[in-house]
Every structure is written in structure tokens, then in C-alpha cells.
Amino acid sequence: MEEENRVTPVTALSDEQEYEHYAFDADSGQEPLRIDKFLMNRIENATRNKIQQGAKSGAIQVNGSPVKSNYKVKGGDQIRVVFSHPPHENLLVPEDLSIDIVYEDDDLIVVNKQAGMVVHPGHGNYTGTLINGLLHHFEQLPMNSSNRPGLVHRIDKDTSGLLVVAKTELAMTELAKQFHDKTSSRKYIALVWGDVKEEEGTVEGHIGRHPKNRLQMTVFPDGSSGKIGITHYKIIERLGYVTLIECRLETGRTHQIRAHMKSIGHTLFNDARYGGDAILKGTTFTKYKQFVQNCFSLLPRQALHAKTLGFDHPTQKKWMDFETPLPHDMMTAIDKWRSYAQHKHF
């Protein structure tokens, strides 16, 4: 059986009012692996300490029985994480948060999301999300198919930039159709490791969950898993050991740019989840290593910004284009690389 994560939001599992927060069925080919490591690879923002605490309290169950954190997961095991309270992501609480709204009318809002802000509540991020802030500003937003108010699309926590939020059911339906039909326009700016050879190109490949690290997406060249993803890129500026590129999305898969660029050997700069927080290109000199570490400090996230967004207005029926400048952290790191490249011969 293929491993899957089934989240049952608020269904009590027993008379003790235990609520299932996570459910995983280990693949039949699963090699023995400690359950704390197994869960760290599958639950976002989970730490070994949190998992061990959960195990001590009996929250981690395998085949219906609580296990210790050193339990070795085997093929066919049914793993459940249960607590005495329902998942917090179902408790959508309005919060007075600072949100950069670049456009608003009766049908929609366009937001410039700051890096570090989660778009919607989830494990480990129950407050401070964009949705929490939007619910404070707007009394009622339409629910999408995943019961998330107003969301037509989303961007990762540590990616900055533009996204559109629907204020009415009609806007939700019309905008969702445009994203599905690939008639909307989205361009991102990314700083990637390495000197990208081609001036422009297209990465096309099926994207799905990594078979061993479920927090990563990966490309399946043979199309054996996942869904097709298409990313068009072109060079903006070559900076020696890194390259500044523009990416235009034709599809909108989870972590699409991050997975696609890694698949062609150009992982995003400081993308910790995909290995970009290591020095992937350059010299062995101590001064260079310190320079890169300084850049990591200036830009403590993946170097990715949703710069432009375009779509047909759902009721006005006119094309709308939005653009936002690169945030300070990305600009500072790019300027530092630009200065470094000017004084080096590659």
C-alpha cells in the first residue's frame, strides 16, 4: 500500500476524546527506521524533542498501541498521532496582523506577503498566519475546496511576494478556474547556485512527494509519480558562483521552482529544505566560506520572490497586472554577490 497522510480534523477516536491529527500507513518496502526520524521527515515543523514528548504522553500510536520514540517503523505499520484536543488549524481565529495589501476592491485583494509568514494555519503554525490576519480585516471570506478562507493559490512560508485572495464566491470560482486553466501569469525572481549555462530554458517534469523525505518534493523524470510541472526560466544576471533568474510558472505545483531548479543542478540559494544552505559552488578558501555565511545571515531563507501576478478580473473582465520590488533581504544578498563577482575572475 502506498504511504499516505490522512488528516481527520475533529473526529474523536475513542471515549477518551482523542483526536487524530496525523495518520501514516508505512509503505510495504519501508526499511526499519526510528519513529521519531520517520515522523520528522513527514510532519512540517516537527522536532525530535516534540516527537519524543508526544511519545512519552502516549500520543504516538502504531497499529493501535502507544510506542516509545525509539520504536522502529516497519512496512505496513499504521502510525497515528493523537491528542485530546482537535487540530488547531480548524480554529480560525482573527488576529490584528500587519498585512501589505497592494490592491483591494469588492471582489478581491492582492497581498504582498512578507517572508516568514505562513499563508494558512497548520501544524506548528496555528497563529500569525495570513488567513488569521485576513479574518480580522474582513468579516467574511468564501471557503475554497480545502476549507481555507479566500485562498485561490498560496506561496511558501519563506517565499515573499504577491498572491490574490477572493472576497466573494464568484471571485473564488473565476480566479480558481484561471489558475487551473493556466491563463493567469506569475513570475518569480530566484537566486540559484551555479552558473546556469543556457540563457533561457524550460524545466518540465512530474513533481511529487519525495519517497523518503515527505517534506520535500522531487521530480520523477519518467512520470511514474506526481503531476506534471512546467517552469520557464531566463537569466537576469550572472554573478559567478550564483545566478539571478526569472521563473515563469505554467503550472502551480507545491515547491515547483524549488524542486525543478534542484533537478537541473541549480538549487535555490539558502534553501535549507533542498540543501541550498550548504556551499554548493565556489572555492575552498576560508574567506569565501565566510562571505557565503554572511550572505546566509543577510538572507536567512530561500532566495525566492513572487514578483509579478496577472489575471483577468472576475467581474470587471479586464486584465490586471501587479508587480512588487524585491524585498530588502534579497536585494542585500544580491548586491553582496554582485560586488564579489566584480572583483573575481571566474
Phi, psi angle pair for 252, to nearest 5°: -130, 60
- Among candidate residues 77, 107, 156, 277, the one labeled active-site is 156
Q: Please, are residues 99 and 133 in contact by the beta-carbon 8 Å criterion? A: yes
For residue 305, give the C-alpha cell: 520572490
Tally of CA atoms within 13 A in the half-sphere of 146 that contains its CB = 12
pTM greater than the 0.75 cutoff: yes
Q: Look at the chain and report how many structural domains it folds into.
A: 3
Q: Please, are residues 142 and 168 in contact by the beta-carbon 8 Å criterion? A: yes
The CA–CA distances, whole Å, from 310 to 199, 201, 243, 313 equal 24, 22, 25, 9
Residue 32 and residue 104 share a domain = no
The answer to whether residue 2 is domain-embedded is no
Q: Which residues pair with 151 in a beta bridge?
A: 165
2-11: pLDDT as tens digits: 344 444 433 3
Range of the domain at 103: 89-181
Active site annotation includes 156:
yes
Residue 326 and residue 227 share a domain = yes
CA distance 243 to 69: 43
Give the whole-number percent of the chain exceeding pLDDT 90.
68
Residues ≥6 apart with Cβ < 8 Å to 143: 149
Domain termination site, one of 181, 203, 218: 181
CA distance 25 to 2: 8
* The pLDDT of residue 255 is above 70: yes
CA distance 162 to 258: 17
29-87: pLDDT as tens digits: 888 999 998 998 888 777 788 888 888 888 899 998 899 999 999 999 999 888 766 66
For residue 200, give the C-alpha cell: 533561457
CATH number of the domain to which 79 belongs: 3.10.290.10
The answer to whether residue 11 is domain-embedded is no
